[in-house]
Amino acid sequence: MNYKTFYKTIENLVNSKFDSKNLAATLDYLGRYLLEGTESSVKIEGVRLYKRHNNNLVLINHYGKNGIIKEGFKIPISYQPIKELIKSPDGIIIKNLGDPGVNSDLEKKLGVDKFCALEIGTRAEYVLAFTLPKELDHEKNAELMYLLRTLASIVNSKIKDKKLEDIFQHAHNLQKNILPRSQPKFSGYDIHFFAKQAEDVGGDYINFNIVNDKLIFAIGDVSGHGLIPAVQAIMTHHIIGTAIDLEDSENIEGILSILNKRLHDDKISDKFVTLVYALLDKEGNVKYANAGHNPPILFSFSENKFHELDASGIPLGFLNNSSYSTSTVKLNEKDILILYTDGIIELVNKKSRIFGESRLKKLVHEHKGKTSKELVDIILEETQRFSKGANLEDDMTLAIIKKLNAY
């Protein structure tokens, strides 16, 4: 038997026939192949496919040598060989009729003297059982184990990959739903944002809400990117949303303290969250707190200079008892507030040069008369020109808030 060829054959069969919505059909096809088409010197005499239903394995198909059983035949999960199968590290058992725990009456109904079984999925979601020749020498036994392990490994890996794919897709949909569905509109201001993930799911977060004639905005970044950061970004969104629902949205210190404790205590991972949470009123007053995030940049039009809204607290989730304080700043007519995540300023090109905060400021200064959307587009175009096709290694989020008139 050519083991490498056999592995590739099974892998190709699984890839071509795998159907996560009808796994039974995939397993049925593989069972028939092993009965009829394999080049292995171990000749399988019968195949039985079971599906778990509550505390029983229920026969859903069988072919070859299989005694007097019919579809619907049940074997309890408590049957000793099945218990051993579920506990087996590789999900494989081989049994003889006289082995301890084997029920000879049951196995005679199945028409077997020697059998093996494969656990497919978790907790024996499916079981493929094979009737084997009564006598197997050492070489054929080793070949059989390779055959079984190959089949179990490829099929179970495919199932896990599909489940992970479904989880990522679900997380992607959830994260997409927490982003603002339209560009925010707040009287007296011109606002535009952009968000892009490095993977299907990411750790950047941005949101805008209008409550009691004030604009609430938040921008954050979970360290890393992928599934876990996405989960923590979603958690952040829902805690802020709950605060708004409870009419507690102006309690900035309290919201950050709750977020910090929840992220610390849940221990989803060792990752942390940076966040700016702020309130903006019609007069241009901004009250904010910063939990370790990149300081928002304020361009003062009248002064023709930039100011940073310095960070005043450590990232969320680091320490259980972190406290946060607020600061205030005033937006005057034509002032520009720039919110961003580090995916913007830490963008690296093929020459290993960093985009940088100074480049961001320069673009804003040169195009300060543009609308917020035009500014965002100009900055994004420059990041693309700068990176020239380099892979996006971090999520990118950017927002521009311009004060239109003196209130």
Q: What residue type is 126 in one-letter code?
A: Y
Per-residue confidence (pLDDT) for residue 37, from 0 to 100: 64
DSSP class of 250: T
Structure tokens at 283: 């007069």
3-state DSSP helix/strand/coil percent for the chain, to nearest 5?
35, 25, 35
403: left (phi over 0), alpha (psi -120 to 50) or beta: beta
* 3-state secondary structure (DSSP) of residue 164: helix
How distant, in Å, are the alpha carbons of 31, 40, 154, 288 from that of 9?
A: 14, 12, 11, 61
Q: Classify 3-169 by CATH class.
A: alpha beta
Cβ atoms < 10 Å from Cβ of 243: 21
Percent of the chain with pLDDT over 70: 89
Q: State both tokens at 220.
A: 């954050």
Q: What residue spans of 282-355 are helical by DSSP H? A: 342-345
Each residue of 18-65: pLDDT tens digit? 887 888 888 888 888 888 766 566 678 899 999 999 999 999 999 888
- Within the chain, all domains assigned CATH 3.60.40.10 are found at 179-403
* C-alpha span between 326 and 255 (Å, rounded): 12
Counting residues of the chain whose pLDDT is more than 90, the rounded percentage is 42
| pLDDT tens profile 308-358 | 987 678 888 888 888 899 999 999 999 999 999 988 998 888 888 899 999
As a CATH number, domain 179-403 is 3.60.40.10
CB of 189 within 8 A of CB of 206?
no
Comma-separated ranges of CATH 3.30.450.40 domains in the chain: 3-169
For residue 176, list its beta bridge partners.
none
Pair 228, 269: CB distance under 8 Å: yes
- Average pLDDT of the chain to the nearest whole number: 85
Rounded Cα gap, residues 372 and 362, in angstroms? 15
Q: How far apart are CA 77 and CA 57, in angstroms?
A: 7
Contact (CB, 8 A) for 231 and 268: yes
Measure CA 192 to chain center.
27
